[in-house]
Amino acid sequence: MTENIRGIGINTGSVNNYNNPAKNAEAKPEETETKTPQAAPQKSQVKADDVLSFMAQQAIVAKPQVAAQRTYDVSKYVTPEQAARIAGFVTSFEDQVAEGLTAIEAEFGPNSGLSEQAKYEIAANMVK
């Protein structure tokens, strides 16, 4: 197949006027007045150290303030039997995560390069 569009018989000059701009018959006569260019006001120079210290301050992300943990009165929300059942689930989960951490340490070794957060996340995902 050919890529020649002229072979199709389309007049591309009238379709796309970008390549063939229309000539303006009424050209503006050049202005004879010479204008003096306006000088831009001189701006004060800024020291490079000031710029770098500003950029360093912008790069620092302020850590959000963490509120102190609140204690809740569980008896308002659940019965003692439900609280004991939930506590059993939580301790079971913690035990399974601890087993997962020991398995990760045994598998990868102490110098695995994994952060503690990554190890805990893997161990928590291993819990069934």
Local confidence pLDDT in tens for the 128 residues of the chain? 556 655 666 555 555 556 555 666 565 666 555 666 677 777 788 888 988 888 888 777 777 777 788 888 888 999 999 999 999 999 999 999 999 999 988 888 878 788 888 889 999 998 87
CB of 100 closer than 8 Å to CB of 123: yes
User: Using CA atoms, how far apart are residues 56 and 59, in angstroms rounded to an integer?
Assistant: 5
Residue-level pLDDT at 19 = 59
The two tokens of residue 20 are 């063939």
Beta strands in the chain (DSSP E): none
User: Using CA atoms, how far apart are residues 95 and 91, in angstroms rounded to an integer?
Assistant: 6
Where is 122: in which H helix or E strand? Answer: helix 116-126
Residue-level pLDDT at 85 = 94
User: Which pairs count as long-range contacts for 70-74, CB under 8 Å and 24+ apart, including other chains?
Assistant: none
